[in-house]
Structure 1
Amino acid sequence: MTDRIEAAAAELRPLLQEFILWAPANAPDSDPDLVGPAALWHRLDVKGDVGLWKRQDLRNLLLERMPQAVEDPDAAADGMVPAIRAYLTFLSSTGRLSAGSDPLESLLEELDELEDDFVDAMEDALAERDWDEEEDELDEDESLGDFEPFADEISDLPTIRLRPDSELAAAARQVPLVGQARDLALWVGTGRKVGEETLLSDEEVRDAVKALGLAEPQALWNIWNLAIDLEFLAPDGDDTVSVDSDTAAWPFEDDEDALDVWTLGLHSIDYGDPELDDDDLTLALSGLTRALLIRVLVNGGSRSLDELRGELAEATAEYDDLGADAWAAAVDPLAPVIAWLTGYGMVTVADGEVTLTPLGTEGVVHMIDEADIEVDARPAIDAMTALDLLSFSADLPEDEADAEFAAWMALRDPGRAASELLEAAAEDEADALIRVQAASLVGSLGEVAVPAWREALEEASLRPYAATHLAQLDAEDALEPTQADTHWLILDMWTISAGLGRSEFVSSLHDIGPAQTIIGLLDVIWKVRHPHLEELLEAVGDAHPDPQVGKAAKRALFKARSGR
């Protein structure tokens, strides 16, 4: 899940950078920084097409996703809808609103209709957050399963390496509890009478237990709840439930779909907590499953079952006055915990050691992220693509980025690695940051990268870098970079600095030289067919303090648009 979010963010980065450049001149009253979370969740929900927008997408995004995802409800209430309005207008005006989307006018009309409801939702989110903060202050460290007390230990962990989605999805398809939840949902069928007023009959319970091969009826209800969590079962009327139409297709072939289902049921781990006849004793053991998981993680992913039993018995007694009594009453409190976690594919137990599976590690990292605790989790080096490396390196300190590159290179032939990096950089000519990262890394490889640089000469977005590096390496028949090559490099630099903020962008303009130098540059740079040219010329005119530069930027923009 984490690497999918990172991949989606990397995919969106160049588009959002271009929007940030577009917004000051075309939507000056909007805050483009507010669009990022909304665009990311839309990408994750819609999956394949960042430009496909429907009215219903806006409703789901603003009224369901954003109230849970925004960090600052106040700012979102004031500016989210105008920012999305500007973003949709940007997509439409630049030809990026995909075929199949609702018309822009219809989308903007829906935004107008949703705005009041969205503001109300933000106010509710703010009130709930304030309440939660008050509760946290009153009940600090109250839950046995809280991750927060382990925040320092989590931050001190070495980098957690996550397996690729293909491997995780393959593991998710084999999870026994998900298969049982599917079987239960299929047994339920369509329109079965079950609800607050109508319970399963004793005969139905026996039939369901037999159909699932369960040892005792109590386990049925946790699997029933899991089936609802996984959306295999859903209410379809008063006191009736039905199987979802897609349930029979589990395990799903698509990796993303398979992982989405597994993640939906991730919080079912709480069903592993022991259930006792006494409600107070049951409550004293609430959170035990999470408590075990976090202790295994901070111990490096594996922990002795005996050590866990001793530490958790002590923690339970400290957490609740009834903790010791509850532990004794449960006889073996960790038995249901381990049973559920193994059934959900999160741990294995061998030779007295509890070990997180790759799927379990992914799940715990996901829950840590949800708890808003910093954790250093990245794709495994052996499974990291060139694009993964470039995307992650862009956000790392230089020494860490260098270490990632060295580890990645250690598993690859240098010449082939150079080609992979440049091929990844060529996937999206709008992503200047990835391109600069790739050029820097390949440039560090020296002469072994010459064949890859020669191939890159055929790619318009990489040719300036290839020509520059081939000339620096004195490669045979290497041509000197042209003026257009140099101008492309400048435009890439401006694109990156614009994404960092106005002050960084202005500083990058001053790096070129005095106003007259920039004016001379603007007189010719408009001829370069760079994907961000027009937005950058608008940004130069808006940001540079010299009015003569502003006029030159407007002239250049006119020429670029008219093709003269």
Structure 2
Amino acid sequence: MSAEPHATLPPVRLPSDAELARDALGAPLFARAVRLARWAGPDTRVDIGGELVAAQLPEAAAALGFDAADEEGAVLASQAWRVAVDTGLVDVTEPDDDDGEEESGTAVPGEDLALVTGGAPGEVLDLWLAALDTVLADASVPDLDGLVDALDAGGEIDFDQLDWNPRREADFLDGVLANLYLLTVAERGAPDGPVPLPVLAASMVIPQDMSEPTDAVLERVSDAMMRLDDQFRQLEPIGLVEFRPVDEALMAETDDEELAAGSAAGAADDEDVSRYGMVRLTPLGLYGIRARMLEAGVTAPAVGELADKGADALLDAVSGYPEGAAQAEIEQWLTGRELSAAVAELLAAARGADEGGPLRRLRCQQALAPAGPEAEPAVRAVLDDPELGGLARVWLSERGAADVPAPDGAMVFWLTVDTIAAQLAADGETAELPLLMESLTAHHTGFFDQVWRVEHPATAYVLEAMGRLHPDKKAAKEARKAAFKARSRQS
């Protein structure tokens, strides 16, 4: 799957392998492939490539519950048979045409068919992933009418006439699915609402630095949208996506220019937007796309992978996660651990004067938030720690603990710098950050006269941010002066 090999994506929340395997077995196309594998026998005949001979397609369609005379049933049977062959659910012996005589090959149930009922969930999912590869390859091929028109005199496909590059088409679909995956996991890490088809098409066509798409670009968006409409129709039966196609009535009542503009810009309300097509990755789809990304070398973590790692690995990893995903990962890490020991390990891992230290301490504070009284001894043990003492006092005070020592001025200023540095690392310069800055500095007379002396590696960086963002102009000016002093002191 085409992707940046060193890219790191937000973590995805996936059901258990057992649940995903049940979803795989319930996917219509995969279920049909299993039924045809069980149907295959001594009388089954195949052509070169393992395709069923035309005379057997009606019988195969009937085995799937379709009308034997229904052309659509024959198409669905042919597709399911191809999946069965490619996944090893069926073993075929192709015809030997060396002697010039027209003979048919044979097919029998494959050894892998037994995995459907007797294999582990992971083995079932491996079969489904093989089926997904087949379907994705088919979805990257243009319609057969176009292929026929592009045949040259020798019966070969003239790709120049067809304007179809197999690698380019596969990369395009991979890119679309990668974007859909990212849109899905960026916030919640699991399927939520569907994504409008125009949004996906635009993500592949409109350059990021283009503020106003040209008419030519809008037409390309419309073309991409219609191509995706056809491809997602093919991908839905394998269980990859839930898909609402483009409204055919919309295409009939809208000319090409209006469709291009409407598809790129969207419509005024949800009902109109949905007419342009809506798509959502299923949990099984998330699993499948993630598996392909991992194979391509992309770092695509899943919530729960850190459950058996140390607290240092946990805090390092969740420092780059969205808050909700970080909380879910922390909760899984804490499950089954003795809380007091786990809290002590988290606090030890949160130490450090490196650049990532503030965010590690923020995630540690997040991990401690739901902890009960049994965590108190481990928290009290770090009250005198210069890096963790402020965090410990906040935690104890929020729970109404007795005998919490008041922090000295140095600890207050250090904690202020650490807190703002963590917020900048977690979310950047958000609209809420100036309010936090104002709140943290409002109760300290002469704050900026003292804070530049704080022995924290992020002191100058935080003061520079406060100089840009502090809502009080006078305080912002004082912050800039303090930042200069801090830089001079550090150098």
TM band (smaller chain): 0.3 to 0.5
Structure exhibiting the larger radius of gyration computed from Cα positions: 2
Q: TM-score, normalised by structure 2?
A: 0.42
Q: Higher helix share goes to which structure?
A: 1
